[in-house]
Chains A and B, each alone.
Chain A
Amino acid sequence: EPEVTQTPSHQVTQMGQEVILRCVPISNHLYFYWYRQILGQKVEFLVSFYNNEISEKSEIFDDQFSVERPDGSNFTLKIRSTKLEDSAMYFCASSETRITTGTDTQYFGPGTRLTVL
């Protein structure tokens, strides 16, 4: 069964450094998402991406964050200058169609645990 993959599974970085989290969505999917989960808290939406542009972003997704689909298969989340509070599990998700128009859903990857020291 096709699945969303994410690399690395765990990333440790120093405060102020740039990190890139990588995701390979399911191949025929068109909608892409990033969520994060700070330890002990709820899963929070960061950004959605469709047709090579951001379709929606949350207030968390400030100028330090960016997303890109560089080569038609990967979907990346970049944090330009990491802060301690960026430490979290970051989940990538994808869907073939809009999830609010039928039976489709978002398929999640296993996550990347980001630790900022």
Chain B
Amino acid sequence: AQSVTQLGSHVSVSEGALVLLRCNYSSSVPPYLFWYVQYPNQGLQLLLKYTSAATLVKGINGFEAEFKKSETSFHLTKPSAHMSDAAEYFCAVAASGGNEKLTFGTGTRLTIIP
């Protein structure tokens, strides 16, 4: 079975500062890892996906994440926060060669301080 843990249910950063949202995974088989963002009253939108092709994955809106097998981590970063980044961010995992379900973390609410 696979799972993800997101450290920090709430993260606040100043506009222009580095954004770092943490995600650690557990999987008995090579994982597919995802970051989704949820803006208020909207559905989940894919930011980026790790498929084992490259450990550094670039996504939309300037976000990127690095897969570190030794640390079982897939942290999401953005060099410079923008007010429009305020949202809830979810890390998710799916097991390669297995079923198609996504297993989500509990989410991190990102607040941007002007």
Set of chain B residues within 8 Å of A110, measured between Cβ atoms? 41-43
Q: Can you list 6 A-B pairs, Cβ within 8 angstroms, ordered by A? A: A33-B101, A42-B107, A43-B44, A45-B101, A55-B100, A107-B46
Residue A75 interfacial (CB < 8 Å): no
Q: Are B43 and A45 in contact (CB under 8 A)?
A: no
* Interchain Cβ contacts within 8 Å, total number: 67
A-B contact sample (4 more), CB < 8 A, given A100-B94, A108-B43: A42-B90, A91-B44, A102-B51, A110-B42
Q: Chain A 101-117 against B: per-residue CB contact (8 Å), 1 yes, 0 no?
A: 01101111111000000
Residue numbers of A with Cβ under 8 A of B are 4, 31, 33, 35, 41-45, 48, 55-56, 58, 91, 93, 95, 98-100, 102-103, 105-111
Residue B75 interfacial (CB < 8 Å): no
Q: Give CA–CA (A100, B100) in the complex, Å.
A: 7
* A33 with B105, Cβ < 8 A, contacts A110-B42, A110-B43 known: no
Residue numbers of B with Cβ under 8 A of A are 32, 34, 36, 41-46, 49, 51, 90, 92, 94-107
A113 CB to closest chain B CB (Å) equals: 10
Q: Are B104 and A103 in contact (CB under 8 A)?
A: no
Chain A residue, CB-CB nearest to B99: A56
B38 CB to closest chain A CB (Å) equals: 9
Chain B residue, CB-CB nearest to A3: B43
Q: Give CA–CA (A98, B43) in the complex, Å.
A: 20
Q: Are B51 and A103 in contact (CB under 8 A)?
A: yes
Chain B residue, CB-CB nearest to A45: B101
Set of chain B residues within 8 Å of A102, measured between Cβ atoms? 51
Set of chain A residues within 8 Å of B51, measured between Cβ atoms? 102-103
Which of A44, A98, A106, A111 is the most central at the interface, judged by chain B CB atoms within 10 Å of its CB? Answer: A106
Set of chain B residues within 8 Å of A109, measured between Cβ atoms? 43
Q: Are A31 and B44 in contact (CB under 8 A)?
A: no
